[in-house]
């Protein structure tokens, strides 16, 4: 998948989930950083940058001193490709970040309505909880 194709996929995912593209790009950067750190020979102190204009993805890193502080030059350590385990890690992190963003959107939608009377349809009733359909959010 080329970078423009990936950007289009992120835009489609953002529209589908109701999440901003910036949030998804940050999630992608976190996912790729986690994936890079799982690769053999990866630098311990590394970060991912995504150029929003060209969607160019780069991994940069620095060596750490004895105290764990970054020192010296910044290296471009962008791998040619990620391995299977790193790709699985990236997928899991991305999925987790998307779920967190969706959960936050649901919370924000109803947080200000605490104490208000709303109508909904009871979907499921259990001794521990009742699941209501309030329209967009359950």
pLDDT digits (tens, 9 = 90+) for 13-36: 888 888 888 888 888 888 889 888
What fold does the segment set 3-133 form as a domain?
Answer: N Utilization Substance Protein A; Chain:P; domain 4 (3.30.1480)
Q: How far, in Å, CA of 112 to CA of 124, rounded?
A: 25
**Residues 98-126 pLDDT 10s:** 899 888 888 888 888 888 888 888 989 89
pTM of the shown model: 0.69
Counts of helices then strands in the chain (DSSP H, E): 3, 5
**Domain boundaries of the chain, sorted by first residue:** 3-133
């Amino acid at each position: 998948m080329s970078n423009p194709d990936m950007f289009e996929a992120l835009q489609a995912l953002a529209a589908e989930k109701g999440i901003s593209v910036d949030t998804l790009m940050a999630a992608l950067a976190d996912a790729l950083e986690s994936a890079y750190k799982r690769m053999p020979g990866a630098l311990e102190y590394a970060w991912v940058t995504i150029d929003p204009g060209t969607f160019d993805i780069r991994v940069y890193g620095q060596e750490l001193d004895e105290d764990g502080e970054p020192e010296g030059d910044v290296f471009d350590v962008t791998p040619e490709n990620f391995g299977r385990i790193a790709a699985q890690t990236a997928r899991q992190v991305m999925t987790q970040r998307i779920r967190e963003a969706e959960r936050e959107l649901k919370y924000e939608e109803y947080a200000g309505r605490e104490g208000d009377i709303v109508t909904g349809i009871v979907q499921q009733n259990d001794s521990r909880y009742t699941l209501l359909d309030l329209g967009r959010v359950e």
